[in-house]
Amino acid sequence: MSAKEESWSSNFGFMMAMIGSAVGLGSIWRFPYMVAQSGGSAFIFIYVTMMLVVGIIGMAVETALGRNSGVDAVDSYAKIAPKSKILGYIPVLTGFLLATIYTVLGGWALSYFAQSLFFQLGNNDFEAFRVSQEPLFWQILFLFLTMLILSLGVSKGIEKYSTLMNFLLLGMILIIVFFSLQLEGAMAGVYYLFTPKFEAFKDPTIWLMATGQAFFSLSLGSGAILTYGVYVDKKSPILRSSAITAIASIVMALLMGLAIFPAVFAMGQEPNAGPGLLFVTLPLVFNKMPGGAIFAILFFAATVFAALTSSVSMIEPALRRISNQMNISRTKTTWSLFAILVVLGAPMALAPGLLSSVKILGLNLFDTMNFLIDKIMMPFNGIVTFILAGWLWKKRGIVTELLGEEKSNSAFGTFLLWLVRLIAPTLVAIAVLKPLYDYII
Give the CB-nearest residue to ligand PHE.
26
- For the packed helices 378-387 and 56-69, what is the interaxial angle rounded to 10 degrees? 70
Mask for 200-239, x = binds ligand PHE (CB under 6 A) = ----------------xx-x--x-x---------------
Minimum CB–partner distance for residue 21 and ligand PHE (Å)? 5
Cα four-point dihedral sign 354, 360, 365, 367: positive
Q: What is the 3-state secondary structure (H, E, C) of 149-162?
A: HHHCCHHHHHHHHH
Q: Pick from 6, 13, 21, 271: which binds ligand PHE (CB under 6 A)?
A: 21
Three-state DSSP class for residue 364: strand
What is the per-residue binding string for ligand PHE in 44-83, x denoting contact by CB under 6 A?
A: ----------------------------------------
Q: Cβ 354 to ligand PHE, closest distance in Å?
A: 26
The nearest distance, CB 223 to ligand PHE, in angstroms, is 8
Total of residues contacting ligand PHE (CB under 6 A): 16
Distance (Å) of CA 311 to CA 55, 304, 315? 19, 10, 7
Kindly tell me which of 68 and 313 has the beta carbon lying closer to ligand PHE: 313
Q: Which of residues 292-321 bind ligand PHE (CB under 6 A)?
A: 310, 313-314
Q: Which of 16, 19, 22, 169 binds ligand PHE (CB under 6 A)?
A: 22
Is 24 one of the binding residues for ligand PHE (CB under 6 A)? yes
Provide CB contacts within 8 A for 251, sequence distance 6+: none
Looking at the DSSP bridge assignments, the partners of residue 363 are: 360
Q: Tell me whether residue 54 or residue 403 sits nearer to ligand PHE (CB atom).
A: 54
Q: How far is the CB of 20 from ligand PHE (least distance, A)?
A: 9
Q: Which is nearer to ligand PHE, 59 or 177 (CB)?
A: 59
Closer of 17 and 266 to ligand PHE (Cβ): 17
The single residue among 15, 16, 19, 25 that binds ligand PHE, judged by CB under 6 A, is: 25
Q: Round to whole Å and give the CA distance between 170 and 259.
A: 12
* CB burial of residue 164 (10 Å; 0-12, 13-18, 19+): middle
- The Cβ of residue 363 has, within 10 Å, a number of other Cβ atoms equal to 15
CA distances from residue 178 to 26, 185, 265, 410 in whole angstroms, order as listed: 22, 14, 15, 45
- Interface residue with ligand PHE among 95, 345, 352, 353 (CB under 6 A) is 95
Question: 320 or 396: whose CB is closer to ligand PHE?
Answer: 320
Query: Is residue 242 at the binding interface for ligand PHE, with CB under 6 A as the rule?
Result: no
CA distances from 92 to 41, 309, 332, 335 (A): 35, 17, 19, 18
- Residue whose CB is less far from ligand PHE, 30 or 79: 30
Please tell me whether residue 370 binds ligand PHE under the rule CB under 6 A: no
Q: Is the separation of the CB atoms in 29 and 105 below 8 Å?
A: yes
Instruction: Write b or e for each residue in 394-410: b if 16 or more Cβ atoms lie within 10 A of its Cβ, otherwise e.
Output: eebbbbbbbbeeeebee
Which of left, alpha, beta for 8 (phi over 0: left; psi -120 to 50: alpha)?
Answer: beta
Nearer to ligand PHE, 313 or 334 (CB): 313
State how far the Cα of 385 lies from the Cα of 221, in Å rounded to an integer: 8
Q: Is 149 an interacting residue with respect to ligand PHE (CB under 6 A)?
A: no
Q: Which of helix, strand or coil describes residue 360? A: strand
Among the listed ranges 19-27, 226-234, 352-360, 423-431, the one in contact with ligand PHE (CB under 6 A) is 19-27
353 binds ligand PHE (CB under 6 A): no
Q: How far is the CB of 382 from ligand PHE (least distance, A)?
A: 11
Cβ at position 160, least distance to ligand PHE in Å? 18
d(CA 319, CA 2): 14
Question: Based on CB atoms, which residue is closest to ligand PHE, 319 or 399?
Answer: 319
**Nearest distance from C-beta of residue 269 to ligand PHE, angstroms:** 24
One-letter identity of residue 99: A
Binding site for ligand PHE (CB under 6 A): 21-22, 24-27, 95, 98, 216-217, 219, 222, 224, 310, 313-314
